[in-house]
Amino acid sequence: MKKPDISFLWRCALPLVFSVAVVAETTSHEEGTAYEATPSSVDSDLVPMVITPGAPSLTEVEYDQAKQIYFERCAGCHGVLRKGATGKPLTIDITQARGLPYLEAFINYGSPTGMPNWGSSGELTSEEVTLMAKYIMHEPPMPPEWGLADMKANWHVIVPPEQRPTKKMNKLNIENLFSVTLRDAGQIALIDGDSYEIVSILNTGYAVHISRMSASGRYLYVIGRDAKINMIDLWMSQPDTVAEIKVGLEARSVETSKYKGYEDKYAIAGSYWPPQFVIMDGETMEPLKVVSTRGMVVGTQEYHPEPRVAAIIASHEHPEFIVNVKETGKVLLVNYEDLEALSITAIETARFLHDGGWDSTHRYFMSAANQSNKIAVIDSKTRKKVQLVDVGAVPHPGRGANWTDKTLGPVWATSHLGDASISLIGTDDKKHPEQAWKVAKTLQGLGGGSLFIKTHPKSSHLYVDYPLNPDPTISQSIAVFNLKNLDEPYTVLPIVEWSGITEGARRVVHPEYNAKGNEVWFSVWNGAEQESAIVVVDDKTLQLKKVIKDPRLITPTGKFNVYNTQHDVY
């Protein structure tokens, strides 16, 4: 499949984020669409031509061209089947009623609530604008399904478990190893956190979305947006892939079992297309159980054919995976004790569930329903919803950040795509019940466009990134709050300036601590043909400590420290 140039992704993102910044008071589902406005990984060549009565005629060549444009530029927001997600639905009852002139104008000029001005910006020619207006008046083509047989045909055990090392065969300090996504290269870099040296570059799926660790800390699982999973053995003399599988056509999430007695027994992956999840053998990645997530939307109870699986987290209280289903707004508690009699509890929260993480006790799952501007609190012990907390515009916490405030007690925090606020939610209903499960305090950061927020139990600082803010002075910097005195002004770190890179978008993304909690790593994310870097900051002094540069560091984004990922430290 053709891999998109990151320069296009940013051109796509900028008008969207700008719209969020200007119209932050709106509640449109198109707010903050920048992070979603990335190409679908579904191969358009696999999708057949569909001609609909009443729609303008298209030749096969025109249809194929429009289909490719839609998958590259539109599906991330409007959905593969155009039922709507971050963007509005584009079903033919709507598009044919609007008519060709209206659709052309809308595609050309966009909207103040997040729709890019594809024509007037020069991204699409006038001929392409007309072509897309005609295309969306036809029924959407259905991509192929991807079932157990497809998964098994794309499953490979490269090194069987019995042939793997019985002890660690290298001298690496595995706990301080970083798995770094090299987005546009379809690779990850394993970087030694002690020496700052690249240990190895491993081929993976395209644009690895997340790296997760097995409960034992031995195996690293990474999943690309193209739904390919690599299982990497960190005990090998040279860490490498020992098993791989493609679980669908597009995906975002992978996790392993962590409940006592089930450590590393199972792995799970969730797909965007087809909308489903699969439970696999934890040592070989053999697919064992596939479950569809198609179903009814919370509240309206209308059927949705494309509810994508977003974040997945492993429960410590029960033998369960906790699964976010984006479009239907349901959190699924998937009990894996008996795969032949699988028990799933569906907890209704709010649309559109995306990312989230544990509170400090690893009991409460704090999940962002980002287009509803809410955080859903799920008690993994009682297996019930605790609260829906109203927060700022389009929360995007990553895993979030935990610390104990001197006044408020334990809190979990999220930043936002749609505004400059940082919401602190109280998480202790025993000693601080007056603050529990509500926004106890709101901070104001540099601006909107934040994707990740991070702190560490050994740190007195809170780091907030702004990679999708349209102002380069903001997107190239980091705001740092003093957790001992949140009333004092935040400190701005000029990460891009410290990197020494002078050309390109150079957006700063994804703060990640080392295992000791005394360093914070940042990605300077640039175009695929431009220089990128990783900047390391001393957490105590907030001074530059190291700049990691290497021609192999192509579009670095997410960085996952082995120890922190294994133990859910954030």
Q: Which of 141, 37, 133, 132 is nearest to 85 (CA)?
A: 37
Question: Tokens at residue 148, please?
Answer: 């157990």
> How is the chain split among helix, strand and coil, in percent rounded to 5?
20, 35, 50
Q: In what order do the strands lie in the sheet with 401-405?
A: 401-405, 409-414, 421-426, 439-444
Q: Using the structure block, give the residue that is written with the tokens 């909308």.
A: 275
- Measure the CA–CA gap between 281 and 266, rounded to whole angstroms: 5
3 state DSSP class of 33:
helix
Q: Which of 354, 362, 432, 461 is catalytic?
A: 354
Q: Which of 1, 12, 29, 77 is catalytic?
A: 77
Question: Tokens at residue 415, please?
Answer: 């930043």
Q: Which of 72, 21, 30 is nearest to 416 (CA)?
A: 21
- Measure the CA–CA gap between 290 and 247, rounded to whole angstroms: 10
Q: How many CA within 13 A on the CB side of residue 162?
A: 0
Active site residue 318: no
The neighbouring-strand residues paired with 482 are: 461
Prior bond of 452 cis (ω within 30°): no
> What is the SS3 string spanning 315-341?
CCCCCEEEEEECCCCEEEEEECCCHHH
Residue 33 CB neighbours (<10 A): 31
Residues 6+ apart with CB under 8 A from 568: 357, 358, 362, 399
Q: Which of 396, 416, 461, 510 is catalytic?
A: 396
Q: Which of 29, 78, 362, 416 is catalytic?
A: 78
DSSP state, residue 45 = G
Question: Tokens at residue 514, please?
Answer: 């080392």
Helix ranges (H only) for 54-138 are 60-73, 75-78, 92-98, 100-109, 126-135
The neighbouring-strand residues paired with 462 are: 481
**CA distances in angstroms from 514 to 47, 385, 519, 533, 547, listed in the order given:** 44, 33, 6, 17, 15
DSSP state, residue 221 = E
Active site residue 231: no
Active site residue 12: no
- Measure the CA–CA gap between 379 and 4, rounded to whole angstroms: 40
Is there a contact between 134 and 54 (Cβ–Cβ < 8 Å)? Answer: no
- Measure the CA–CA gap between 373 and 396, rounded to whole angstroms: 10
Amino acid at 42: V
Would you please indicate which residues are annotated as catalytic (active-site) residues? 74, 77-78, 115, 354, 396
